[in-house]
Structures are given as structure tokens and as C-alpha cells.
Structure 1
Amino acid sequence: MGLLSNRITRESLKPGDHIYSWRTAYIYAHHGIYIGDDKVIHFTRRGQEVGTGTVLDLLLISSGPARSREICPTCAAASQDPHGVVSSCLNCFLAGGVLYRFEYAVSPTLFLAKARGGTCTLAVADHDDVVVHRAKYLLENGFGCYNVFKNNCEDFAIYCKTGLLVVDHGIIGQSGQAVSIIGGPLAAVLSTPLRLVTTNVYGMAVTAVGVYCASRYGADIGMRRDVVTVQVEDLTTRLANGLLQVVESQISISPARQSPQIVSQ
């Protein structure tokens, strides 16, 4: 695994891999699940969408359909899918970018060493066949309303890999790159009061980095306490009925995962 990100070759891909490719001058990456036979299932901005109301709506275009002069025959039918979860060939998914693999169950040291979010998580991934099943099921049933910060392509891929969802998204979902986008300015704001007691630029920089790392670590899906395990067959029903935010009586602790699990009704 690379320190900044984990670049891989196509030959090393296997079904169930969470892959991504950087877009928009490395501001944002597009994520998906490789299911074999040169196919990737991923969540796009097509269909119902909630914007941020900021300039980011113009910048973060990586989860939209790849802009190309030609649409390959493999992906032509998928381009008509209205709900946002689509199947594409690997070439169309990469859109000319480089292939990277998202890593799971990394150590806290390695997680913090990676300055950029959206490349790895402390959470443990499920078996590859379970991951592929979730991705294919959501291809047929959708993954709800796209939102840059609360429900984006990385959130989709992480759910497929772990079955975990944030109960109350608040500002952000489980996306590491969304945390990075928010965490940088947040760290700068929180370190600003130091100017009242010191003019040491290095001290303020260290504090800002510390706040940024702490925000990334605490918001990671593997560390958060506000996550639940949701069966994919139950997820689409809850999304359709707006029942993702569950009451405490509906949550039980899964001994195997030591994480909350929604009890199907």
C-alpha cells in the first residue's frame, strides 16, 4: 500500500474490490465496486440529487457520467438508468484516470499517515461475494438521493464493503473525502484563536494538523459510534420510506462486528 494512495494494475483486480480514480485535478475521486468481467457498479449524480448550495456543486463533478466523445456499447444502456446506481465498463469508470484500490482494516498509524481522506478506513470489509451481492442488488433498487457530503459514491462503495451506514448523517456521511474537504477549513478556523496568545506560525500549523487528523480519525466509519449494520434487502425499503434514522429500540449490538445492527421488521 502506498503512503498517499494505493495504485494497482488491472491484472490485480478481483470481484468485490472497492476502487477509485482521482478526478477534477485531484480535488475529488470517483468510487465504485468492481464485480468482475471488466464491470464496475458505482453511484452517480444522475437522477434525484441534493446540492450543497455552494460553488462545490460546480467543482465536484466526478460522480457524473464521464464526459467522452463516444459512449461504448457496454455502457450505452446504463447511461439511461434514472436512479444513479449504474454499471459501467472499467474504461468508462476510470474516464482516462489511474486505477486505485481503497484499503480496509488499516492500522491507526497508517490511517493517520495518509494526509488525504477517501483512500482507506479502519473498518473491516465483508467477504467479496457479499460485497458483490450488495452492489448488484443496489444496481436494481437504487441507493437513495445523491448528496455530495451525505450520500455520495464513496458512501455507496463503503456500504457495499461493510454493510455499515451512519444513523444520523448530520453534516456528513461516512465518506472520507468529504471529511477531508470539510476538515481542512475547520482545522484552520479552530487554530485561529492561537493568534491571540502566540505568533508562532509553526505552533499554529501543528495545531491545525492535529485538529485535522483528529477530525478524520473520529469521523472514520470504523471509529464512529453512530453507525448501524443494515441488510441490503432492508435498506432500500427504509430509504424509500425515509426510515434510515432509526429509534434506539430498533438497534441491537452485533457480537461478531461489535457494531449496532438494525433489526428487520
Structure 2
Amino acid sequence: MGVLSNRIDREVLKPGDHIYSWRKAYVYAHHGIYVGDDKVIHFTRGEGQEMGTGTVLDILLVSSSLNPRHPPCPNCAQQQGSNGVASSCLSCFLAGGYLYRFEYSVSPAFFLAKARGGTCTCADADPAETVIHRATHLLENGFGCYNIFKNNCEDFAIYCKTGLISADERTIGQSGQAMSFLAAAFSSPLRLATSNVYGMAVTAIGVYCASRYAADVGMRSGVMKVSVEDLTGRLGGVNGMLSRVTSVAD
């Protein structure tokens, strides 16, 4: 692996690895945790979650689901739950795509050299056994409601690897690729700040890189380490409250 690509062969996979595969012609990647025995635990849209925004962002929503061109094998199809966290064989997870491994503990220079978000972080990863414990616990208990910017498949995998979540629920999650889309959208208007084509390019690239770096889970403030048991307990309380509100409304 290196600056240009994180692509790896299956033979070098280790339990606890954070892996991903590109979807939609490299528009978006789907992330998960390899737990061994050819199994990957990953976060997808649960039934009825984030069904559409009516914008181009729906491409990302579809990409977070299993690829309809590569339906799950009979064994994996029987294991799909309703809470959004699923266990699939590696082939079903890849859905015909190539295998990539997310990198942790990278230097700031290496992070900035990666032009594409959602491939690495400056944050340190926890031991493999801790990562697998978090992933298997979330498989049984869920990871909340899927959200493109605050709670997506990359957020799930990064939490499993680090135990870090944002302390402020109003902010975006840990997802590097979501931040890349936001940074690109934010930097575009700034190109109008100068009529010089080179100045426009430098301004846009500078804002894009600075935004990605500042939002990385390994660099940003306002993140905290939370045990998976505390996390699911908190999510269970929120989901229970929402269920009671819905029942009263009905």
C-alpha cells in the first residue's frame, strides 16, 4: 500500500482489518471490518432508513447498500438483519469490486498526500481483538440510524477500530469521504475570490486539504472514547424514546 493505492490481496487480510471497496465508478466506497473466517461485518441502510433525499446524494445512499448487480449468496441473504449492521462473506461484501485496506496512524504529510478522503486517518487503531469485539457487539445491537454525513459505513468501521465518536451529535461523523464531499462543495465558491486561474486552483486545493485534515478523527477536537456497551446502551435509550413517541402519535 502507499500514497497512490491501498489495494491489497485477500491473502494478506488479517482479522480486525478495516477494509473497503469502491462503488459507482469510484464515487463512493463501502467500508467494513474483516473478522476472520471469510466474514465481514459492515453497516448498511436498515429497512426504511434514508430512503432518498431527492438529490445527487442518493447515489451515496444506493452505494451504501448491497450491490443489486451482485446479489448476496444464499447464505449471506439469510443473515441480513433489520438494524443495518450485517455479516457477509468477503465476496458478497466486495460485490465484484477490488479489496482495499484503510490505513491508521498515518503522518499528517501522508494524510494530506492522499487526495481522496476515506482511505486513511491519523488516529491510532486499537488491538484486533477489541476491534472484533466492537463489530460483533454492534452486529447484535445495531449502530443507530444510517445517515450520509453523521453515521455511515465508514463511521461504523472507524468506531470499531478506534472507539472514538463525536461528542457533539450536531457535527458530522468521522467519515473522511463525506468530509471530502463537503470540503469540495465549500471550496468551490472560493474559486471566485480571484480571477487568476492559478490562484483559484491554489485557493480551492488549500481549503479542501485544510478542511479534510481538521475534520480527521485523529486530529479534530470534540471526540471521545466510548465503550461499545455504553454506545449501544445510549442508542437503545434513544430508539426506545422514539418508539414511544411514535406509538403516542399513532
Question: Which amino acid is the alignment partner of residue 29 of structure 1?
Answer: A
- Higher mean Cα deviation, 69-78 or 145-154? 69-78
Report the equivalent of 1:172: 172
Structure 2 partner of 1:65: 66
Q: Is the 8 Å Cα contact of residues 165 and 224 (structure 2) preserved in structure 1?
A: yes
Which residue of the partner structure matches residue 238 of structure 1? 234
Distance 1:145 1:84 in 2: 8
Q: Secondary structure at the match of 2:41?
A: strand
Q: 1:216 to 1:70 in 2, by over 3 A?
A: closer
Unaligned runs of 5+ in 2: 240-250
Counterparts of 1:49-198 in structure 2 under 5 Å? 49-50=49-50, 53-60=53-60, 61-68=62-69, 70-79=71-80, 81-192=81-192, 194-195=193-194
Q: Counterpart of 2:45?
A: 45
> Do 2:45 and 2:65's aligned partners in 1 also have CA atoms closer than 8 Å?
yes
Superposed CA RMSD in Å reads: 1.6
**Aligned residues, how many?**
238
Amino acid in the other structure paired with 1:32? G
Which sections of structure 1, spanning at least 5 residues, go unmatched?
244-265
Indicate how the Cα distance of structure 1 residues 200 and 123 shifts in structure 2: closer, same or farther if over 3 A, else same: same
* TM-score, with length taken from structure 1: 0.86
1:212 aligns with 2:208: yes
Q: Is the 8 A contact 2:52 2:58 kept in 1?
A: no
Cα distance in 2 between the residues matched to 1:242 and 1:224: 26
> What is aligned with 2:244?
none
Given residue 156 of structure 1, which amino acid in structure 2 is its aligned partner? F
Q: CA deviation at 1:241?
A: 2.1
Structure 1: which amino acid aligns with 2:45?
A: R
Q: How many angstroms does 1:46 deviate by?
A: 2.3
- Greater shift, 52-61 or 128-137, is seen at 52-61
d(CA) in 1 for partners of 2:180, 2:200: 19
**Offset of 1:45 from its aligned partner?**
1.0
Give the counterpart letter for 1:130 in structure 2: T
Is residue 70–residue 96 contact of structure 2 (8 Å, CA) maintained in 1? no
- SS across alignment from 1:104: coil
CA distance in 1 between counterparts of 2:202 and 2:231 reads 41
TM-score of the superposition, structure 2-length normalised? 0.91
Summarize the Cα distance change of 1:17–1:69 in structure 2 as closer, same or farther, 3 Å threshold.
closer
Take 2:70 and 2:54, find their aligned partners in 1: how far apart are those partners?
Answer: 29
Distance 1:52 1:225 in 2: 31
| Residues in 2 aligned to 1:70 and 1:191: alpha-carbon distance in whole angstroms | 43
How has the CA–CA distance of structure 1 residues 109 and 54 changed in structure 2, closer, same or farther, with 3 Å as cutoff?
farther
In 1: Cα distance, 2:115 partner to 2:69 partner = 31
Match of 1:56, SS state, is: coil
Deviation at 1:74, TM superposition (A): 2.4
Cα distance in 2, alignment partners of residues 242 and 213 from structure 1? 35
Deviation at 1:171, TM superposition (A): 4.7
- What SS is found at the alignment partner of 1:147? coil
Q: Which amino acid aligns with 1:74?
A: N
Is this contact kept in 2: 1:166–1:174, CA < 8 A?
yes
Offset of 1:72 from its aligned partner?
1.3
* Secondary structure, counterpart of 2:123 in structure 1: coil
The structure that is helix-richer by fraction is 2
The 10-residue stretch of structure 1 (60-69 or 120-129) with the greater mean CA deviation from structure 2: 60-69
2:197 matched to which residue of 1? 201
Separation in 1 of the partners of 2:4 and 2:76?
A: 31
